[in-house]
C-alpha cells in the first residue's frame, strides 16, 4: 500500500498516531521537502520515528519519476507531506497515479495552514479564494493574484496568501550543463510579499475606477510565522507597515483582512503592531 501521510505544521511530534504506525511499518519512507518545511529537519524526524533511512523527495522525484510507486503493490511505502496530504495538487496526482497502477492508497490527514490560519481569530468561513504570491524576478513579475484578492475584498472576505519557497532550484548557468547546480533555499517573507503588493497597488491605481473595497497601503493584514510551533508569531498591522515587520525564521504567511466582525477585530487587536 501507498500511505500519503500529513505531518502537521510544527515539529516531529505533530504526526498522528495512525501516521506514526504507518511510518514504523513501511518498507520505504519518502519525505517531501519542496512544498513546505517543518521547524525541524530530517534527522529529528528519523530519531522520533526510530529509523535512519528517510529518503528526501524533491519535485523531480515526485512529479516525474515512478520511484515512489515502485513495488508499492507488494510493499508498504510511506510518503510524508508537511501539513495535510492534499494541501498541494502534486500529491493528488501521486494518489491518482497509484490508483491507475492498481496500488492501494491510504490518506492520513493532519493540520495544514488552510485550517490552522484560524489561529488569527478570523473565521474560516469568512475566507475567500487562497492565493500564492511568487518571487518576482527582473523579467517575470506576475500579478494575477491581485485580482483574486480584490474579488475576495469585494465580497467582504479575507484572503490567505501563501508565500513562495524555492528549494533545490537549478541555477540558470547549470541548466545548460550536464551537471546540475542548485541555488540556496529561499523562503519569501511577509515583508517581501507586502512590498510586491504595494508595487502592484501603485501600478493599478491609475486604472482602477472605484476605490471601494480596493486594496491599499492602509489595508489591515495579519502576518503569521511558524504556525503550530512553540514560537509561533502573529502581527496585525497595515500593509505598508508590514514591509518593516520582523517575523523571524520561515515559514511566513500573510492574510489580507476583509470585512471584520467585531469579535475578529477584538481578537487581532491583541497582537496589533
Binding positions for S-adenosyl-L-methionine: 9, 84, 87, 112-113, 163, 227, 252
Q: Give the position of cell 542548485.
A: 182
Q: Is 218 exposed, middle or buried (0-12, 13-18, 19+ CB in 10 A)?
A: exposed
- 246 vs 224: CA distance, rounded Å: 11
Strand 220-225 to 233-238 pairing: antiparallel
Q: What are the angstrom distances between the C-alpha of 220 and each of 114, 118, 238, 268?
A: 20, 16, 5, 10
Q: How many residues does the chain have?
A: 273
**Taken in order 76, 82, 87, 93, is the CA torsion positive or negative?**
negative
Which residues belong to the annotated binding site? 9, 84, 87, 112-113, 163, 227, 252
Amino acid at each position: 500500500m501507498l500511505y500519503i501521510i500529513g505531518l502537521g505544521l510544527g515539529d516531529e511530534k505533530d504526526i498522528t498516531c495512525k501516521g506514526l504506525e504507518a511510518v514504523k511499518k513501511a518498507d520505504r519512507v519518502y519525505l517531501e521537502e519542496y512544498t513546505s518545511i517543518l521547524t525541524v529537519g530530517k534527522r529529528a524526524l528519523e530519531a522520533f520515528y526510530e529509523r535512519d533511512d528517510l529518503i528526501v523527495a524533491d519535485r523531480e522525484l515526485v512529479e516525474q519519476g515512478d520511484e515512489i510507486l515502485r513495488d508499492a503493490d507488494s510493499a508498504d511505502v510511506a510518503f510524508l507531506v508537511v501539513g495535510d496530504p492534499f494541501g498541494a495538487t502534486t500529491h493528488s496526482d501521486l494518489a491518482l497515479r497509484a490508483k491507475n497502477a492498481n496500488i492501494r492508497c491510504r490518506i492520513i490527514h493532519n493540520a495544514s495552514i488552510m485550517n490552522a490560519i484560524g489561529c488569527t481569530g478570523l473565521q474560516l468561513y469568512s475566507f475567500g479564494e487562497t492565493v500564492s504570491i511568487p518571487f518576482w524576478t527582473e523579467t517575470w513579475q506576475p500579478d494575477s493574484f491581485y485580482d483574486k484578492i480584490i474579488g475576495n475584498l469585494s465580497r467582504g472576505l479575507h484572503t490567505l496568501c501563501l508565500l513562495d519557497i524555492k528549494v533545490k532550484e537549478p541555477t540558470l548557468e547549470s541548466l545548460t550543463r550536464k551537471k546540475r547546480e542548485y541555488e540556496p533555499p529561499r523562503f519569501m517573507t511577509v515583508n517581501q510579499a507586502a512590498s510586491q503588493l504595494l508595487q502592484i497597488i501603485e501600478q493599478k491605481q491609475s486604472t482602477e475606477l472605484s476605490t471601494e473595497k480596493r486594496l491599499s497601503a492602509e489595508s489591515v493584514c495579519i502576518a503569521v510565522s511558524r504556525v503550530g510551533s512553540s514560537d509561533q508569531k502573529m502581527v496585525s498591522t497595515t500593509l505598508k507597515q508590514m514591509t518593516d515587520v520582523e517575523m523571524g525564521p520561515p515559514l511566513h504567511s500573510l492574510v489580507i483582512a476583509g470585512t471584520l466582525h467585531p469579535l475578529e477585530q477584538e481578537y487581532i487587536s491583541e497582537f496589533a503592531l
